[in-house]
Amino acid sequence: MATRSDGNVVLPVGIREIRYHGPEPTAGERLECHVRITSLTETRLAADIQLSHRGTVWCEIDGWENRRFDSPPATDAIRRHPEHSTLARVQPGGWHLVFEYWPDPASRELMMRNVLGGAERDAYAARPPRGRHQWLLGRIAAKDAVRHHLWQHDAGPVFPAEIRVRNDDSGRPHPEGVHGRELPPLDLSLAHCAEAAVALVRPAGGAPVGIDIEEIAERPETTRDAVLAPEEHPLYDRLGGGARTLIRFWAAKEAAAKAEGTGLRGRPRDFRVTTADGDRLTVRTPSGRTHPVSLAEVGNPPGLRPRRYIVAWTEDTHRQHHEEKPS
Q: Which residues bind other proteins (CB under 8 A)?
A: 128, 130-131, 134, 169-171, 193, 214, 219-220, 222-227, 250, 254, 263-269
Min. distance of Cβ 192 from other proteins in angstroms? Answer: 9
Least Cβ distance, residue 84 to other proteins (angstroms): 33
Q: How far is the CB of 167 from other proteins (least distance, A)?
A: 9
Q: Compare residues 232 and 254 and give the one whose CB is closer to other proteins.
A: 254
Nearer Cβ to other proteins (181/269): 269
Shortest distance, CB of residue 227 to other proteins, whole angstroms?
Answer: 6
- The smaller minimum CB distance to other proteins, of residues 27 and 126, is found at 126
| Residue 265 C-beta: closest distance to other proteins, Å | 5
Nearer to other proteins, 163 or 310 (CB): 310
Nearest distance in Å: CB 250, other proteins: 6
90 Rama sector, left if φ>0, alpha if ψ -120 to 50, beta otherwise = beta
SS (H, E, C) the chain: CCCCCCCCEEEEEEEEEEEECCCCCCCCCCCEEEEEEEEECCCEEEEEEEEEECCEEEEEEEEEEEEEECCCHHHHHHHHCCCCCCCCEECCCCCEEEECCCCCHHHHHHHHHHHCCHHHHHHHHHCCCCCHHHHHHHHHHHHHHHHHHHHHCCCCCCCHHHEEEEECCCCCEEEEECCCCCCCCEEEEEEEECCEEEEEEEECCCCCCCEEEEECCCCCCHHHHHHCCHHHHHHHHHCCCHHHHHHHHHHHHHHHHHHHCCCCCCCHHHCEEEEEECCEEEEECCCCCEEEEEEEEEECCCCCCCCEEEEEEECCCHHHCCCCCCC
* 79 versus 267: smaller Cβ distance to other proteins: 267
CB closer to other proteins out of 70 and 254: 254
Nearer to other proteins, 54 or 308 (CB): 308
**Quick one: which of 277, 260, 280 has its CA closest to 268?**
260
Least Å distance between CB 323 and other proteins?
A: 23
